[in-house]
Amino acid sequence: MQSRFQAHRSIATATPGGGAVPAGRAGGHRRLGASGWLGRLVVALAMVLLIGLAAPGSAEARTYASIVVDAQTGQVLRARNADTPVYPASLTKMMTLYLLFEALDDGRATLSSRMHVSDRAAGQPPSKLGVKAGSTIPVETAIKALAIKSANDVATVVAEFLAGTEWRFAKVMTARAHDLGMENTTFRNASGLPDRGQKSTARDMAVLSMALMRHFPQYYHYFGMSSFTYGGRTYKTHNNVVKTYEGADGLKTGYIRASGFNLAASAQRGDSRIVGVVFGGRTSHTRDAHMVKLLDIGFSRVSHAIARAPLPAPKPDIRLASALTQPIGQGDVSSGPELSALTDSWGIQVGAFGRLEAAREVAEQHARLLAPMTSEDSVVIAPRQTSRGTIYRARVMGLNRAEANRACDDLGLGRQACIVVHPDPDMAVAAN
């Protein structure tokens, strides 16, 4: 079925002059009167409007969005339109790689496993590696081709290798995204090629970036490689931030007309690691320059936060950063009667972690920062079961509603990083 985009492009191509020539006048030189020129102008303006509404690169679709996150705690240091739906473009390939890393981790594949190239995979549009139908490609080469070259043909190869079809693989991608807490993400293909149904957010891509680093540290280095060689040709990375920014070590670029220039980047300086995501850059140069500014902001703010804290920031094994997700359903763990005074009160949530100890440390740190309004006795840890195990949500309770709202303001975290928690007597276990 011909898409609206195809239909409007064909109309524009058929009438490059802005309107059809009336029958019997082709090749003639008769001057048009005012009404004739007006008619042509109306037709031209109507076509421009229709094309602008349908085109995947329209101004409405190319939305700016960004987020900067402390990767150690999940705290959002800066956010603009972080929950606005956007087209992920080739940042999609980070999820394709996440699922390939899972296959390596659980033994379904090895780095030397060879994946078959179908006719469909070989026929994908650029950017592509140019793999031939009927050939095979090693898993490790595919990883490099996705992370560095951003090869669409290889993305389809991986999808078909892991799930049989790319359509089925996209379903798995979406399910895994939701498992990770990427609640506003839907995938329709493995590459990020244009599809109106494929949407994500800056916040969700930050979650995915941290998940890649935390769950698969043994493979993270592929995102920081500057080049790789295949078929006698060397391919260089599109990620100039990795090459030029102090401490930057990886992740992914992306571009389609509908999204503009996108980038997920991470950098580490000392004990601090920052993740930044940008959508909607006008050019790759302006996108990269903006990312540099965002990372600088991130490091300045995370340093300030650590300086305020009585103890150094912990280095938890973050499964999901609750500061990067909306409030989610409570766990099935009942609290004891001694917790009723806390769990019947209001509070704030300041992170979610894969280890109970890390959650407790962060919660206690923030409780001390809010003294005398709260203390370490105000700490409550709320567990929640996910498909990847238990996460522990760090909360400071014992407040009324106004105090909870003021606490987020006093901490200077913003509403993206500090979530006000409603009273719920069935939500938590004691921190100690």
Instruction: Give domain status of residue 60, yes or no.
Output: no
State the burial class of residue 30 (Cβ atoms within 10 Å of its Cβ: 0-12, 13-18, 19+).
exposed
How confident is the model over 288-305, as pLDDT tens digits?
999 999 999 999 987 554
Q: What distance in Å separates the CA atoms of residue 26 and residue 366, rounded to the nearest whole number?
A: 77
Residue 252 annotated as binding? yes
Whether the per-residue pLDDT at 2 is higher than 90: the answer is no
How confident is the model over 30-74, as pLDDT tens digits?
444 544 555 555 445 544 444 333 334 444 447 899 999 998 888
Mean pLDDT of the chain: 76
Please give the pLDDT value at position 403: 82
Regarding whether 247 and 369 lie in a shared domain, the answer is no
CB environment 276-286: b (16+ within 10 A), e (fewer): bbbbbbeebee
Query: Nearest Cα to 332, choosing from 424, 197, 432?
Result: 424
Residue at a domain's end among 244, 278, 308: 308
Q: Where are the beta strands (DSSP E) in 104-259?
A: 114-116, 136-138, 227-230, 233-236, 248-250, 253-256
Whether the per-residue pLDDT at 427 is higher than 50: the answer is no
Instruction: Give domain status of residue 316, yes or no.
Output: no
The residue from 66, 118, 127, 150 that is catalytic is 150
Q: Where are the alpha helices (DSSP H) in 59-114?
A: 92-105
Regarding whether 219 and 357 lie in a shared domain, the answer is no
Calculate ∠ Cα 319-190-384, nearest 5°: 20
**Measured torsion, CA atoms of residues 56, 61, 62, 67, in degrees rounded to the nearest 10:** -130
Q: Which two tokens stand for residue 144?
A: 């490099």
Whether the per-residue pLDDT at 272 is higher than 70: the answer is yes
Q: Which of 9-18, 71-80, 148-157, 264-273 has the highest mean pLDDT?
A: 148-157
Q: Which two tokens stand for residue 354?
A: 């894969």
How confident is the model over 96-127, as pLDDT tens digits?
999 999 999 889 999 999 999 999 999 999 99
The residue from 90, 200, 266, 378 that is catalytic is 90
Instruction: Give domain status of residue 386, yes or no.
Output: yes
Regarding whether 366 and 297 lie in a shared domain, the answer is no
0.75 exceeded by pTM: no
Contact 116/91 with Cβ under 8 angstroms? no
Please give the pLDDT value at position 431: 38
Regarding whether 134 and 81 lie in a shared domain, the answer is yes
Which carries the bigger pLDDT value, residue 312 or residue 204?
Answer: 204
Please give the pLDDT value at position 194: 94
Domain membership of residue 120 as a residue range: 65-308
Q: Is there a catalytic annotation at residue 93?
A: yes
What are the phi and psi torsion angles at 180 (to 5°)? -80, -10
Q: Where are the alpha helices (DSSP H) in 256-355?
A: 284-308, 340-343
Regarding whether 268 and 180 lie in a shared domain, the answer is yes
Whether the per-residue pLDDT at 241 is higher than 60: the answer is yes
**Measured torsion, CA atoms of residues 134, 140, 143, 144, in degrees rounded to the nearest 10:** -100
Regarding whether 159 and 95 lie in a shared domain, the answer is yes
For position 389, which CATH number holds?
A: 3.30.70.1070
The total of structural domains in the chain comes to 3
Query: Nearest Cα to 92, choosing from 2, 189, 223?
Result: 189
For position 125, which CATH number holds?
A: 3.40.710.10
- How distant, in Å, are the alpha carbons of 105, 131, 132, 382 from that of 391? 21, 41, 44, 8
The residue from 66, 93, 118, 209 that is catalytic is 93
Please give the pLDDT value at position 39: 55
Which carries the bigger pLDDT value, residue 414 or residue 167?
Answer: 167
Instruction: Give domain status of residue 345, yes or no.
Output: yes
Regarding whether 420 and 399 lie in a shared domain, the answer is yes
**Own/partner pairs, 108-116, CB within 8 angstroms, 24+ separation:** 108/162, 109/139, 109/161, 110/139, 111/138, 111/139, 111/140, 111/143, 112/138, 112/139, 112/140, 113/138, 113/139, 114/138, 114/139, 115/139, 115/142, 115/157, 115/158, 115/160, 115/161, 116/157, 116/160, 116/161
pLDDT confidence tier of residue 26, bands split at 50, 70 and 90: very low
Please give the pLDDT value at position 323: 34
pLDDT confidence tier of residue 387, bands split at 50, 70 and 90: low
Peptide bond into 16 cis (omega under 30): no
Instruction: Give domain status of residue 288, yes or no.
Output: yes
Regarding whether 120 and 214 lie in a shared domain, the answer is yes
Q: What distance in Å separates the CA atoms of residue 371 and residue 351, rounded to the nearest whole number?
A: 19
Q: How many CB atoms lie within 10 A of CB 430?
A: 13
Instruction: Give just the sign of the alpha carbon dihedral 153, 206, 253, 231.
Output: negative
Which carries the bigger pLDDT value, residue 416 or residue 121?
Answer: 121
Reduce the DSSP state of residue 253 to 3 states and report it.
strand
Contact 274/206 with Cβ under 8 angstroms? no
